[in-house]
Structure formats: structure tokens, C-alpha cells
């Protein structure tokens, strides 16, 4: 059968999302999810939500959530952009800010969606190698470019740059937009938000998926100058004026307003991370210094792929990337103390 319409379809290599095992008995340390529930106000917001109001469109501007975020970060509501998870925000930012035709720069080992968006929006890019310890070499970013994207902490390494290093990067890159992807910043790294008042070309992207335990609700946001935010709004409104639904807006607002719970949860995850890192080192693992909610490890005697397969058989799911330079490493999400103890026990038995 002749199907000429097929020639008009977009040809794209499908991105394959990570495994989401359905069984209840597994220990899921493969998607950097938070092991603790969201703030109690989120459940209360869901219970109190009046379904009849859903017949109307949501506030296209998300005013209440933007105001809550603006208060939390001491910026104006017009400096806040909302999207369906930080992937949505980052994709729009790539499309909106990297239009010069010059290659953008980001690390060779980093979030796997960056090259996907570059291909999707036909943005040229150049990857900048991390050093042998997976550290960013700042001076490598001192060259003409169409933009810079830096996750801080980086993923999957977990390594973070201090605030003065981020400012150094901005000082040397004022002719382009610099995106700092702070998906994991709340577990101990320094946010670049205080630099927003000095650098109009800085966009800070964060998410409620990790530190606020709301991966299931898809809430990401960007903080930046009014110029950058207005550009993001214009591009968003060209796709879809109402990206955020009314329930997510209400639940996200409840999460942002509970600072105490947020701080406690982040501290618990960080403490478990540091304890698990010590236990892994005691088993002979080399563990990259992490300020994120995951650990990036390698073992001098055992192959990462074999450890990954063994743990999977034990019902413990972690992440293995078959990629250059890191194909003997494993990324382990920080779970509860109990989950990490089971992981360590399983690894001890294996070694």
C-alpha cells in the first residue's frame, strides 16, 4: 500500500524515558525522586479543591503561584515563569534564547535532554569536557558562543560549583543567555538566584519534582530578568496559553508556602546522602562529592554494568548510563535511611 502522507511526517529518534517499574516491592533509586511525601498542605489543597471551578480555564498567568515563588525568592512576580516541569521550561528557554546560530556550550557529561532540544530546535552546540574528576573547567567557557547551559549541581555527577564560580562564568559570558539548571540545588549547593539582580542575561531554572516531592505534578519554573521572562511568556503563549492546570497551581502554591517542611526534607535527604556516601566508600567505591539527591559512584574491581544488573535482580533499581567516560559509573538516588541500608547490605553481599 502506497502511503505518501508518511513522507510529510517529522522524522525523529524517539527519546526513551527511564524504566518505571510497577511492582510495589522494589526499591526505586533510579529517577532522583524524593523518598518523602510533599508538604502536608498539598494533600489539604487536593481535598479542598472545588471541582466545579474546573469548568473554567485556569489563570493563564498563574498569578498566585508566581507571587508565592516571587516572595520565596525575593524577586518580582514578573521575574517568574511557570511550566510543566523544568523540562518544559528548559525546552522553551532553549527555543527562546539560543537563536543566534552560534554554538551554545554545555558540559560533555550532563543532562541528556540538552542535545535532544538542540536537535529539535536546530541549535548548534559544542560540548565542553569536564576534567578527569568531572569538574567544570570555567576557563573553557571563555569563548564566543550562542549561550551557556550549566546544571548546578551537575547531573549525573552531583558535583556543584560555588557561587563565586557561577559569577565568574557570568562575568565572562555577558553577550549571551546563561542558563543555570538548578534541579538539584536545594540539597546543599548555592543557588544563583542572588545574582539575578546583577545579571540580566541569567536564567535560573528550578523544579518542584525533587526537593518538593512533586514529580507527579509537573511543576517547573524559571527566575530571571523581566526581559527574559517576557520572552519566555511570548513563546509559551504561542503554543498554548494555559499550560499549568488549576490543581497543580494550587498544590504548588501550598508546597512553596511550607518552608519549614521543605528545609527539613532537604536536610534529611542530605544527611542520608552523606551517610550512604561514607558507607559506599567503606565498601571500596569511589564516590564523587555530591551536593545533589543522588550519588555517582564507581568501583575499582567490579564493573558498573554488572553491579547494576545484580541490584536489579534484588529488586533495587539504580541508573546506569552506557555513555562515553561514564560507562563504568552508577547513579544512585538517595532514598530513606532504610532503603540505603538495604542497598549497602546488598552491595556488601555482592562484593
250 contacts 49 by C-beta, under 8 angstroms: yes
Tell me how far apart the alpha carbons of residues 60 and 75 are, in angstroms, rounded to a whole number. Answer: 20
The set of cell numbers assigned to 180 is 543555570
Residue 305 interacts with a second copy (CB under 8 A): yes or no:
no
CB nearer to a second copy: pick between 74 and 241? 241
CB of 114 to a second copy, least distance (A): 12
Give whichever of 176 and 266 is closer to a second copy, judged by the CB atom. 176
Instruction: Mark 30-49 with x for binding to a second copy (rule: CB under 8 A) and - for no binding.
Output: -x-xxxxxx---xx--xx-x
Measured distance CA(143)–CA(280) in Å, rounded: 39
| Smallest distance, a second copy to C-beta of residue 124, A | 12
Is 5 or 25 the residue whose CB approaches a second copy more closely?
A: 5
Number of H helices, E strands in the chain: 10, 12
Out of 71, 197, 237, 263, name the contact with a second copy by CB under 8 A: 237
DSSP string of 135-171, one letter each residue? ---GGGG-S--SEEEEESS-TTT-----HHHHHHHHH
Nearest approach in angstroms of CB 194 to a second copy is 20
Residues 202-231 that bind a second copy (CB under 8 A): 209, 213-218, 227-228, 230-231
Is residue 197 at the binding interface for a second copy, with CB under 8 A as the rule? Answer: no
Nearer to a second copy by Cβ, of 107 and 146: the residue is: 146
Please pick, from the candidates 201, 207, 288, 293, the single residue that binds a second copy as defined by CB under 8 A: 201
| Residue 133 three-state SS | coil
CB 1, min distance to a second copy, A: 9
CB of 121 closer than 8 Å to CB of 90: no
Joined together, the cell numbers standing for residue 26 give 522494589
Q: How many residues bind a second copy (CB under 8 A)?
A: 90
Q: Does 58 bind a second copy (CB under 8 A)?
A: yes
> For residues 6-25, which are near a second copy according to CB under 8 A?
6-10, 12-17, 20
Long-range interactions of 108-112: CB distance < 8 A, separation 24+: 108/324, 108/325, 109/134, 109/154, 109/156, 109/157, 109/323, 109/325, 109/326, 110/149, 110/151, 110/154, 110/155, 111/151, 111/155, 111/181, 111/183, 112/321
Nearest distance from C-beta of residue 131 to a second copy, angstroms: 28
Helix 85-97 crosses helix 113-120 at what angle (to 10 degrees)?
Answer: 40
Give the footprint of a second copy on residues 109-168 (CB under 8 A). 116-117, 119-120, 146-147
Phi and psi at residue 244, to the nearest 5°: -95, 130
Question: Footprint of a second copy on residues 177-196 (CB under 8 A)?
Answer: 177
Q: How far is the CB of 63 from a second copy (least distance, A)?
A: 10
Nearer CB in complex with a second copy: 49/310: 49
Rounded distance between C-alpha atoms, residue 252 and residue 207, angstroms:
10
Using CB under 8 A as the criterion, what x/- string covers residues 241-280 for binding a second copy? Answer: xxxxxxxx--x-----------------------------
- Name the minimum Å distance from CB 54 to a second copy: 4
Between residues 18 and 284, which has the closer beta carbon with respect to a second copy? 18
> Does 51 participate in binding a second copy (rule CB under 8 A)?
yes
One DSSP character per residue, 62-93 reads: -HHHHHHHHHHHTS-GGGEEEESHHHHHHHHH
In the complex, the smallest distance separating the C-beta of residue 92 from a second copy, rounded to whole angstroms, is: 9
Subset of 75-114 contacting a second copy (CB under 8 A):
84-85, 87-88, 91, 95-100, 102
The least CB distance from residue 270 to a second copy, in Å, is 17
Dihedral sign, Cα of residue 215, residue 217, residue 223, residue 228: positive
State the maximum Cα–Cα separation within the chain, in Å, rounded to a whole number.
63
- Classify strands 330-333 and 27-28 as parallel, antiparallel or unpaired: unpaired
Amino acid at each position: 500500500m502506497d502511503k505518501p502522507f508518511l513522507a510529510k511526517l517529522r522524522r525523529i529518534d524517539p527519546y526513551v524515558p527511564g524504566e518505571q517499574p510497577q511492582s510495589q516491592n522494589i526499591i526505586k533509586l533510579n529517577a532522583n525522586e524524593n523518598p518523602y511525601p510533599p508538604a502536608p498542605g498539598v494533600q489539604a489543597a487536593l481535598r479542598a479543591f472545588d471541582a466545579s471551578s474546573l469548568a473554567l480555564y485556569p489563570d493563564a498567568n498563574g498569578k498566585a503561584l508566581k507571587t508565592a515563588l516571587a516572595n520565596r525568592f525575593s524577586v518580582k512576580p514578573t521575574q517568574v515563569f511557570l511550566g510543566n516541569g523544568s523540562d518544559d521550561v528548559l525546552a522553551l528557554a532553549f527555543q527562546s534564547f539560543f537563536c543566534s546560530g552560534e554554538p551554545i556550550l554545555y558540559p560533555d557529561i550532563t543532562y541528556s535532554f540538552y542535545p535532544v532540544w538542540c536537535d529539535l530546535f536546530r541549535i548548534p552546540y559544542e560540548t565542553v569536557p569536564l576534567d578527569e574528576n568531572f569538574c567544570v573547567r570555567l576557563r573553557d567557557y571563555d569563548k564566543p558562543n550562542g549561550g551557556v547551559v550549566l546544571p548546578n549541581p551537575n547531573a549525573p555527577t552531583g558535583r556543584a560549583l560555588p557561587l563565586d564560580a557561577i559569577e565568574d562564568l557570568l562575568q565572562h559570558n555577558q553577550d549571551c543567555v546563561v542558563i543555570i539548571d538548578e534541579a538539584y540545588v536545594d540539597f546543599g549547593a548555592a543557588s544563583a538566584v542572588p545574582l539575578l539582580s546583577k545579571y540580566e542575561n541569567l536564567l535560573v531554572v528550578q523544579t518542584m519534582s525533587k526537593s518538593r516531592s512533586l514529580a507527579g505534578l509537573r511543576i517547573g519554573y524559571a527566575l530571571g530578568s523581566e526581559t527574559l521572562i517576557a520572552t519566555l511568556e511570548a513563546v509559551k503563549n504561542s503554543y498554548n496559553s494555559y499550560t499549568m492546570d488549576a490543581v497543580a497551581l494550587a498544590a504548588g502554591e501550598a508546597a512553596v508556602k511550607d518552608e519549614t517542611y521543605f528545609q527539613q526534607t532537604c536536610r534529611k535527604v542530605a544527611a542520608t546522602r552523606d551517610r550512604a556516601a561514607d558507607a559506599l566508600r567503606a565498601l571500596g567505591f569511589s564516590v564523587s562529592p555530591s551536593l545533589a539527591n543522588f550519588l555517582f559512584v564507581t568501583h575499582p574491581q567490579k564493573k558498573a554494568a554488572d553491579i547494576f544488573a545484580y541490584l536489579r535482580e534484588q529488586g533495587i533499581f539504580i541508573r546506569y548510563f552506557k555513555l562515553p567516560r561514564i560507562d563504568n559509573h552508577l547513579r544512585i538516588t538517595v532514598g530513606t535511611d532504610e532503603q540505603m541500608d538495604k542497598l549497602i547490605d546488598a552491595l556488601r553481599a555482592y562484593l
